[in-house]
Structure 1
Amino acid sequence: MKAITTPIIPITQTFAKVEASHKPNYEAICIFAATGFFLEGDSYYLDQKVLQPGTSYQLDPNGVIKSEKSYFKWHHTPRDISFTTALDEFTDLFEDIVKEQTGNNRVLLPLSGGLDSRSQAVALRYLKADVQSYSYSFAGGFKEHHISKQIAEACGFDFDGYLIPPNYLWDVLDEAANINQCYSEFTHPRQMAVLDQFKAMNGEFSLGHWGDVLFDRGIAAKDEGLTELDLIYKKVIKKGGLELANALWNSWALEGDFESYLKARIQTLLDQIEITNKSAKIRAFKSLYWAPRWTSVSLSFFQAAHPVNVPYYDDRMCQFICEIPEAYLADRKLQIAYIKKRNPKVAAIPWQDHMPFNLNTYHRNKMPYNLPYRIANKLKNETQSLLGKKYIQRNWELQFLGTANDEKLRGYIYQPDFLEFVDKEVIDKLYTQFKTTDPIFYSHPVSMLLTLSLWNKKRNL
């Protein structure tokens, strides 16, 4: 027997076998099409499962799961402590984790205009780590690296700014499929555009993934009246995802209807989380099922170049979160207070989500204080449009729009082998909607069709 114990939030997917036929799991694939990630232990095949977080397993010599037992359950038992105490505890824990993960290695730090990587930068600067930082922006889009470079300079880090070019996807698509095994779509991970540059670096990645979930409200204030099921359903369904999933479900003649099936699955998983606080329960659900099956899959693109460390994934951080009052987690309070305390210079740099304000002034991101910036930004975008330059906000715009991209896309989603797996009528309808009706809404279905096409190609080799 082989024993395997998974972390509370696994960095990688670990596959095992169950007693079932080796056939496609059509229901699971429909959920993947709707949400962009597989749910719970689902995989592409009925006889293959992904080991669940915070669980100890026994596998037989053939890799078949014989027993499993959970050793950690997300809970909500906030201690009666002051915000100052919570901040001091977070400071000590976060910096201890970063220090342990860093060791004596050179740190490769992706920086953004947000708070998660910014908090890492502050910790690494305080710990006097050897850091190579970098950032990337879309060609023709918001220059995110302008903020990142300011953070790097304030911390004294080496910095590189990369520009994500159009059309890069088709040259690296097969490699991307091999890296993530088609368990996430390919238009989100910008890392593939600069993978060669990553490989030329020396060090280990320190990544800020999941900090924005752990250190914020589990639900937005405007959504507090929704049921837990509606909250999750609203969050996980991608634009156009429901239409694609319903079309696949019907074309494969699966029993019942997709929405009822998905809602029943989600409700069952919610019922297993023994937390009454709605915000904490939603955070736990995301950490159990979203983080390991979507966020972690994206980490594989970093792992293709160097080892990765994720401070916010650490078991101790997850345990810490369960004991902190929701009021201290809401609205990024702890992270903001930490950055302001440890490095006021970094706190004074603009926060991308609240441009042009920073961590000291972001409360003013409302009328009339933000009006001058909004007018200037609108004029800038309109000028760019008049010059015939499209303002790029999403990676798929660089990869799917234009004649050359369209030819590549059609070459994959209309492959003869793929048309045996997905009805041509399904592809025709969604592709036409993307081209003629609403490219933003239908970009996800088209991207998922591309992903399924690559998976289908790989399984037929």
Structure 2
Amino acid sequence: MKTITTPIIPTKQTFFKVDAPHDLDLQAICVFAAIGFFLDADTYFKDTKVLRPGTEYTLDDSDKILDAKTYFNWHYTPRDISFNQVLEEYKILFEKIVSEQALDKQVILPLSGGLDSRTQAVALKKIGAEVFSYSYDFENGYPETKIAKHIAKTCGFNFQDYKINKGYLWSVIEDLAKINGCYSDFTSPRQMAILNEFENMGDVFSLGHWGDVLFDSMNLPALTHQAQVDALMNKLLKRGGLEFATSLWKLWELEGHFKDYFRHRISALLHTININDTNAKLRAFKSKYWAPRWTSVNLSIFSKAKPITLPYYDDRMCEFICTVPEEYLKNRQLQIAYIKQSAPELAKIEWQDHRPFNLCNYHLNKSPYNLPYKIINKLKRELKGLSGNPYVQRNWELQFLGTDNTYFLKKNILESGLETWIPLSFLKAQLNAFFQGNSLRQAHSISILLTLSLFNQKHWHA
């Protein structure tokens, strides 16, 4: 016998077998088509499941589960404590975790224009870590590296900027399908474009994933259970995802209606969380079911190159967040206060989500104060479009649009053998709707079909 204890937020999926036919789990695949990841323990196959978070498993010699005990349940137990006390506790805990993870190593820090990587930069600078930082932006997109470079220079970090070029996906798509197992779409993980660059950067990644969920609030009022389910469905469903999944459900002649099935699944999973506060409960839901099956999937690209550390995934951080009053988590105020107190020079650097404002004046990001920036930014985008280089805002625009991308996209979907379980007429209709109709509405569906095409080749009919 052996035991496996999964973290509160696992960094990777651990699969195990159950007594069931080795058939495609079409219901689970419909959910994947709707939201872009698998729910709970689901996988592509009926006989394969994923170990759940925060659980201690006992397995026999053939890796069958004999016993499973949950050791952590998300809760909301707010303490009677001041904001400044919470801030001090957060600072001590966060810097302790970062210090332990960075001990005697050269840290690789992906920098963005947001808050999570900026908090890491603060902590790494304070402990005197050796840091190699980098950032990237899209070809013909917003120059995100500008903010990251400013942060790195202020901290004294080594820095390298990269450009994510149009159509890079087709040269790496087969490797990516093997690395993430086709449990995520292929357009989201931009880091795949520079995978070969990681080798010479440092010893260990410090990744800021999930800080934006733990240290923020959905700012919802107290909701009934059904209203919480509605809120989650709205949050989870991708643009066009419900219609796409419903079409597959009907195509495969599954019992009932997809929307009813999906609602029932979300409701049942939400019932596993014993929290009364609406915002704390939805944060717990996302941390229990979303982070391990979506966010963690593409961590495999980083870990393919070097070991990874995630301060916001640390069990101690999860336990800490359960005791913080919800009012202190709203609008990222703890992270903002930490940066302003510990590194005021970093607080004065532009915040991408509120550009051109920073952490000291982002409250001015409203009319009429932000009108000049909005007008100028819109003119810049329109001029780019007139020059023949449309402004790129989304990952799929870089990979799906243009003559070469169209060729490779159609080739991968239509010549993958996927028609053995999704009719060719359906595949062609989806592609036509994307290229001749509303590409924004259809982009997610095409991204999922591309993922299923590689899954079919690499993991199903390999």
Asked whether the two chains share a fold, i.e. TM above 0.5, the reply is: yes
> Are the counterparts in 1 of residues 416 and 453 from structure 2 also a CA contact under 8 Å?
no
* Stretch of structure 1 that moved more, 20-29 or 280-289: 20-29
Secondary structure of 1:58 counterpart: strand
CA distance in 2, matches of 1:127, 1:252: 56
> Are the counterparts in 2 of residues 223 and 231 from structure 1 also a CA contact under 8 Å?
no
Secondary structure of 1:399 counterpart: helix
Identical positions, percent: 54
CA distance in 2, matches of 1:164, 1:179: 19
Q: How does 1:90-169 map to 2 (within 5 A)?
A: 90-169=90-169
> Are the counterparts in 1 of residues 33 and 245 from structure 2 also a CA contact under 8 Å?
yes
CA distance in 1, matches of 2:424, 2:461: 19
Name the residue aligned to 1:254: 254
Q: How does 1:191-206 map to 2 (within 5 A)?
A: 191-206=191-206
Secondary structure of 2:305 counterpart: coil
> Are the counterparts in 1 of residues 215 and 332 from structure 2 also a CA contact under 8 Å?
yes
CA distance in 2, matches of 1:306, 1:159: 18
Q: What is the aligned-residue RMSD (CA, Å)? A: 1.2
Q: How does 1:35-46 map to 2 (within 5 A)?
A: 35-46=35-46
Q: How does 1:424-439 map to 2 (within 5 A)?
A: 424-439=424-439
> Are the counterparts in 2 of residues 247 and 426 from structure 1 also a CA contact under 8 Å?
no
CA distance in 1, matches of 2:343, 2:442: 43
Name the residue aligned to 1:184: 184
CA distance in 1, matches of 2:87, 2:208: 18
CA distance in 1, matches of 2:414, 2:62: 37
* Stretch of structure 1 that moved more, 320-329 or 191-200: 191-200
Name the residue aligned to 2:6: 6
- Aligned residue identity for 2:128: K
Shift of residue 200, structure 1, vs aligned partner: 2.8
Can you give the 5+ residue segments of structure 2 that lack an aligned partner in the other structure? none
> Are the counterparts in 2 of residues 108 and 204 from structure 1 also a CA contact under 8 Å?
yes
Shift of residue 250, structure 1, vs aligned partner: 1.0
- Aligned residue identity for 2:146: H
> Are the counterparts in 2 of residues 168 and 193 from structure 1 also a CA contact under 8 Å?
yes
- Aligned residue identity for 1:24: L
Name the residue aligned to 2:59: 59
CA distance in 2, matches of 1:346, 1:193: 28
Q: How does 1:437-448 map to 2 (within 5 A)?
A: 437-448=437-448
Shift of residue 223, structure 1, vs aligned partner: 10
- Aligned residue identity for 1:413: I
Name the residue aligned to 1:460: 461
CA distance in 2, matches of 1:221, 1:264: 22
Secondary structure of 1:349 counterpart: coil
Shift of residue 283, structure 1, vs aligned partner: 0.2
CA distance in 2, matches of 1:144, 1:221: 30
Q: How does 1:169-318 map to 2 (within 5 A)?
A: 169-217=169-217, 219-221=218-220, 227-318=227-318
CA distance in 1, matches of 2:130, 2:268: 46
- Aligned residue identity for 1:250: K
CA distance in 2, matches of 1:385, 1:168: 21
Secondary structure of 2:296 counterpart: helix
Shift of residue 62, structure 1, vs aligned partner: 1.7
> Are the counterparts in 2 of residues 28 and 39 from structure 1 also a CA contact under 8 Å?
yes
Name the residue aligned to 2:371: 371
Secondary structure of 1:320 counterpart: helix
Secondary structure of 2:297 counterpart: helix
Name the residue aligned to 2:361: 361
Number of paired residues?
460
Secondary structure of 1:23 counterpart: coil
Q: Is residue 402 of structure 1 aligned with residue 379 of structure 2?
A: no
- Aligned residue identity for 1:197: E
> Are the counterparts in 1 of residues 416 and 457 from structure 2 also a CA contact under 8 Å?
no
CA distance in 2, matches of 1:332, 1:423: 46
Identify if the C-alpha distance between structure 1 residues 222 and 351 changes in structure 2 by more than 3 Å, giving closer, same or farther. Answer: farther
The one-character-per-residue Cα deviations of 1:234-257 (angstroms, maximum 9, x if unpaired) are 011001111221111111111111
The one-character-per-residue Cα deviations of 1:317-336 (angstroms, maximum 9, x if unpaired) are 00000000001001001000
Name the residue aligned to 2:381: 381
> Are the counterparts in 2 of residues 33 and 445 from structure 1 also a CA contact under 8 Å?
yes
> Are the counterparts in 1 of residues 219 and 330 from structure 2 also a CA contact under 8 Å?
no
Secondary structure of 2:281 counterpart: helix
Q: Is residue 47 of structure 1 aligned with residue 61 of structure 2?
A: no
Shift of residue 37, structure 1, vs aligned partner: 0.4
> Are the counterparts in 2 of residues 248 and 426 from structure 1 also a CA contact under 8 Å?
no
CA distance in 1, matches of 2:121, 2:222: 32
Secondary structure of 1:336 counterpart: helix
CA distance in 1, matches of 2:375, 2:417: 51
The one-character-per-residue Cα deviations of 1:91-131 (angstroms, maximum 9, x if unpaired) are 00000000011111100000000000000000000111000
Shift of residue 65, structure 1, vs aligned partner: 1.8
CA distance in 1, matches of 2:221, 2:327: 16
Shift of residue 428, structure 1, vs aligned partner: 2.3
Name the residue aligned to 2:449: 449
CA distance in 1, matches of 2:89, 2:60: 42
* Stretch of structure 1 that moved more, 411-420 or 441-450: 411-420
- Aligned residue identity for 1:115: L
> Are the counterparts in 1 of residues 119 and 339 from structure 2 also a CA contact under 8 Å?
yes
CA distance in 2, matches of 1:455, 1:220: 38
TM-score, length-scaled by structure 1:
0.98
Identify if the C-alpha distance between structure 1 residues 155 and 224 changes in structure 2 by more than 3 Å, giving closer, same or farther. Answer: farther
Shift of residue 416, structure 1, vs aligned partner: 5.7
> Are the counterparts in 2 of residues 107 and 204 from structure 1 also a CA contact under 8 Å?
yes
Q: Is residue 333 of structure 1 aligned with residue 367 of structure 2?
A: no
Secondary structure of 1:227 counterpart: helix
Secondary structure of 2:24 counterpart: coil
CA distance in 2, matches of 1:173, 1:381: 29
- Aligned residue identity for 1:460: H
Secondary structure of 1:213 counterpart: helix
Name the residue aligned to 1:27: 27
